[in-house]
Amino acid sequence: MSSDNKFDVVIIGGGPGGYVAAIRCAQLGLKTACVDEFTGKDNKASLGGTCLNVGCIPSKALLESSHHYEQLNHGLENHGIKVTGVKIDVPTMIKNKDDIVSRLTGGISGLFKANKVTSFHGRGKLLAGKQVEVTNSSNEILTLSAESVILATGSRPIDIPSAPVDNINIVDSTGALNFDKTPKKLGVIGAGVIGLELGSVWNRLGSDVTLLEAQDTFLPAADTKIAAEAKRQFKKQGLDIKMSARVTKATSKGKKVTVDYEDASGEHSIELDKLIVSVGRSPNTDNLFAPESPIELDERGFIEVDEIWQTSQPSVYAIGDLIRGPMLAHKASEEGVAVAEVIYGEEPEINYDVIPGVIYTNPEIAWVGETEQHLKSAGEKIKVGTFPFAASGRAQALGDTTGMVKIISSEETDQILGVHIIGPQASELIAEAVLAMEYSASSEDLALTVHAHPTLSEALHEAALAVDNRALHIPNR
């Protein structure tokens, strides 16, 4: 084997876990290669995985575009701004999304070159002896050798037999990012993070959106008070959220799709222009390693790893959506850095208790740590403080006063156990809570921290004060 094909580390997967791992390995002086098979709309290699190409970034671009459109139509009157004749040009909006994706994925290629990471475009497969087989689009095969291998191939949308994706009328989350016009009637199977975000995009642009959620609890991972407020706001916006609704059959015919579903009141049928299937994701482990590989999977198909992300095969590691835990780009990135440092000989740690979750709807929803319902069910004695954005001067000036901040702390130690936000810029505000919890801060610590005025962050300050019934800008309980 040529020395050009021998590396200290080979990473299979160029998403937010894989490409970050590659960059960190190279920074540490390790000869590094990254194998990735994603092909962009231009039929060229496109690093960044699902997140940059068909996930986090493009969906946020569409959310932002649709939010601007919604504001022009309904959100600026109180500011004295009157706009008439507003139109949406969907192809231009999609092109803007694609341009953003192109710039960012191209940026990763630039970072690889700057850090001397060797990039291979093709499907990677782990063979015996820590060799990686790379098969390109022409079915040409190249074999790489490595001292260590990192598996970072991410996940894919789950298919359900009752609603087979045809990429015409029935689409997955990727297809929902590329409609050429606003569907008049849109259905979404699944009212989770992805379903809510995609449903919100097209609802703002004029679609009549119905979300069909099989579970009987709305956003079960979120704090119940936050979830209840979110559901109320989404319904107010016109999203028709049907709970305990199990889809039994979806039939695509012509330019329509008929969906049959069951709920507590019986059997129903609706006709739609488009249907998005968004019921979760599964790890991309198919054909990732040779059959004789000792790598073990759990009952749900995730790769088993130890405390340093090492699989059952020594010097082979797995990160991101391939292993248990929340399927989040920022989790994968932190694991990518950590594994690079493990390979280098360091002992990094990740605090999985303070990984934030965000839903980029309007209002935004963000949380970190435990929920009130979970702590109470575990018998924990807690204190809770809340502060509404309606009492925030900055939120009033923005004209966006929906929602609240909720802080939960230990009754005994006052240590912050969870922070939950629904409202303007929740995705940005949660960072302060994550930092506070990373350093085991108490609600008093946050209450003693001086916050600039007027800012939205003052809502965290006031919620921290409210934990001990000393909020200044709302009556205490």
Residues annotated as catalytic are 453
Q: Which two tokens stand for residue 387?
A: 């502060």
Return all residues near 471 (Cβ < 8 A) that are at least 6 apart.
385, 387, 462, 463, 465
Q: Taking the chain, what is the end-to-end CA distance rounded to the nearest angstrom? A: 73
Distance of CA 37 to the CA centre of its chain: 21
Distance CA 75, CA 96 (A): 23
Adjacency order of strands within the sheet including 185-189: 170-171, 274-277, 185-189, 208-212, 240-242
Spell out the alpha helix ranges (H) of 318-425: 329-344, 372-377, 393-398
**Contact yes or no for 445/436 (Cβ under 8 A):** yes
Q: If you write DSSP's letter for every residue of 177-224 in order, what string do you get? A: G--SS--SEEEEE--SHHHHHHHHHHHHTT-EEEEE-SSSSSSTTS-H
| Closest by CA position to 37, among listed 138, 111, 166, 115 | 138
Q: Is the peptide bond before 363 cis (omega within 30 degrees of 0)?
A: yes
Cα–Cα separations (whole angstroms), residue 422 to 160, 349, 377, 404, 433:
31, 29, 23, 6, 14
CB-neighbour burial class of residue 117 (10 A; exposed 0-12, middle 13-18, buried 19+)? buried
DSSP, res 158: P
Q: Which two tokens stand for residue 308?
A: 């340093």
Q: Is the dihedral of CA 42, 45, 48, 49 positive or negative?
A: positive
SS3 per-residue string spanning 291-341: CCCCCCECCCCCECCCCCCECCCCCEEECHHHCCCCCCHHHHHHHHHHHHH
